[in-house]
Amino acid sequence: MAEGLLLDIDGVIVTSWEPLPGAVEALESITESGIPRMFLTNTTSKSRNEIAQTLIRGGFDVEAREILTAAVLTAEYLRSRHEGKRVVVLNEGPISEDMDGINVVSDDPEVLVFGGAGPSFTHELLSQALAWMIDGVPAISMHRSMSWSTASGPKIDTGIYLEGLQKATGKKIPAIGKPSPLGFRHAVEMLGVGDPGEVIMVGDDIHGDVLGAQKAAMIGVLVRTGKFRPEQLDALNADEFGQVPDHVIDSIADLPALLEKL
């Protein structure tokens, strides 16, 4: 059996925070197997505590410390690379409690952090971010998602702004959350596993979860639930030089049986 397991949340164990069929039972069986596991999500609208409470209400046996949000990983990154520095966080909504302990300020930053975008990402705010970057303030981002879907259609996310800011300043804005190798590496460390090749990542996003993890030397497992689209997998399979998921299963319900074999 592999030494560790990382699971995406949305589209893998829940959709719209409702448990997927068989997910609660699959996680129970995984807990019994004793394999160290954590959850890895790019959600910026809920803290790890709020996510844990929501999952527990859905019947899952989870603890907040098992949930690695992009904000948790970003806070870890700031502690290791920019300890004690003044940090301005641009995020739609309140700054996550997952960033407790970080020296968050509203002006004159030594580090700039982008979270999730929304109506608060105004022309004025983004122009200020541009000015700070031109002045040499290093910038990082919790993730580089381009959009997310809502009942009223797609919404523009942070990644779209990052592309422009990078071009305008000639500077890179590294992202911490999936599919960044930085985030996967931190997550493997937090699992307490030395070799990423012994860690399985399960997700519904072919590129963000599965191939991203495989690029970080982990074992990728794609589920056919959530945002999975068969034509995306077919296109990868048709490209003889392309990378494909290590394993594909119908849903999380099939994960315990796969784990027995790995």
Q: Which residues bind Mg ion (CB under 5 A)?
A: 8, 10-11, 204
Question: Three-class SS of residue 125?
Answer: helix
Residue 158 contacts residue 3 (beta carbons within 8 Å): no
Nearer to Mg ion, 10 or 98 (CB): 10
Cβ at position 178, least distance to Mg ion in Å: 9
- Residue identified by tokens 């300020």 is 105
Other beta carbons within 10 angstroms of residue 262's beta carbon come to: 14
Cβ at position 153, least distance to Mg ion in Å: 19
Q: Are strands 37-41 and 18-19 parallel, antiparallel or unpaired?
A: unpaired
Nearer to Mg ion, 8 or 157 (CB): 8
Residue 97 contacts residue 69 (beta carbons within 8 Å): no
Residue facing Mg ion at closest CB distance: 11
Nearer to Mg ion, 138 or 203 (CB): 203
Q: What angle do CA 147, 137, 67 make, to 5 degrees?
A: 45
Cβ at position 52, least distance to Mg ion in Å: 17
Rounded (to 5) percent helix, strand, coil in the chain: 40, 20, 40
Nearer to Mg ion, 145 or 169 (CB): 145
d(CA 20, CA 10): 10
Q: How far apart, in Å, are the Cα atoms of 179 and each of 16, 19, 31, 174, 216?
A: 22, 24, 26, 11, 9
Cβ at position 12, least distance to Mg ion in Å: 6
- Residue identified by tokens 């982008």 is 114
Nearer to Mg ion, 110 or 254 (CB): 254
Cβ at position 88, least distance to Mg ion in Å: 29
Cβ at position 78, least distance to Mg ion in Å: 25
Nearer to Mg ion, 10 or 157 (CB): 10
